[in-house]
Structure 1
């Protein structure tokens, strides 16, 4: 029987044990930086391409940014940032808008919503339905606990809100959004199956016509 253990045998081991001091997990040397934030930025710049850094910056931004602002945050030149941003805009992952102060860029929320729905629709129907049931129970638990139908109604209620209540509101809102994603993914998967059946039927009809 073959030994399933994934470890090397004695013949495969080195003659000497490795020296941990010689193992460097970073591309950059932390000792060269007085500020840990500077080190983190240098390591990020070293480990990712300019395109990846530009995309990281723009998709995490909470408001539109100019190419100059993205360039500074992504540690790239402004022409590089502008070129990468325009390519991302053509792909549809970034929205570009011309304003009085120049062209600005921000993530396209619809692109990310659609991607998440497609990813969820790729999961099994039973898994999605199980998750949906769990979310429904979680939402109902919050409704019963606070006597309100939505987290927004709870926020507008006259009662004082503790830190624990705000945490529940955050989880409640997340559950509501996740539930809508699951529902949409189930409908999307259903539409895919319907179209597959429709196109298969049309293909069969075409084959019958060409064979006669």
Structure 2
């Protein structure tokens, strides 16, 4: 028998609430939070009470998964960016061996040099200052350049992490 729902979003929320614990829902919301959010905002998104959200957010801060900022009297919670970065570095280190990391770093440096030569600037920030609002291709390149630069930094960090791990093991 096929169910009909008046509001699919409400059905999905109810299903998520039935299949997860309050802590799991708060964790998922924090995991997606780049900009700080109050316990009330997190509670609303996680389908929990504000005291429950606050309690779980504090636990996540204590474990290092989340961090806080203050906005006046309000504590704002967000995922810990250092922890996310270290996860990306470890993940890349497990997926790629040293030679693959070196080859990827070389390719990303070549790609960055192409952007520098194409636009005669040394950074995406300089490119942004030169672009007109309607230059779609330029803005697309700017986004790709920033992404490549971020990926290069992570790959270089993974390589350094790998080297440090080998040195400590000796």
Fold shared by both chains (TM-score > 0.5): yes
Change in Cα spacing, 1:97 to 1:144, as seen in structure 2 (3 Å) is closer
User: Is residue 2:54 matched to residue 1:68?
Assistant: no
Q: Deviations over 1:66-86 (max 9, x none)?
A: 222111111112232122111
Query: Looking at both structures, which has the greater relative contact order when contacts are Cα pairs under 8 Å and sequence separation is at least 6?
Result: 2
**Aligned residues: CA RMSD:** 2.2
1:174 pairs with one of 147, 150, 164: 147
1:49 pairs with one of 21, 29, 38: 21
Offset, 1:49: 3.0
Change in Cα spacing, 1:70 to 1:39, as seen in structure 2 (3 Å) is same
Q: Take 2:112 and 2:18, find their aligned partners in 1: how far apart are those partners?
A: 44
2:59 pairs with one of 70, 87, 109: 87
Q: Take 2:20 and 2:117, find their aligned partners in 1: how far apart are those partners?
A: 47
2:105 pairs with one of 113, 124, 132: 132
Q: How many residues align?
A: 169
Offset, 1:65: 1.6
Structure 2's unaligned 5+ residue stretches are none
TM-score by length of 2: 0.86
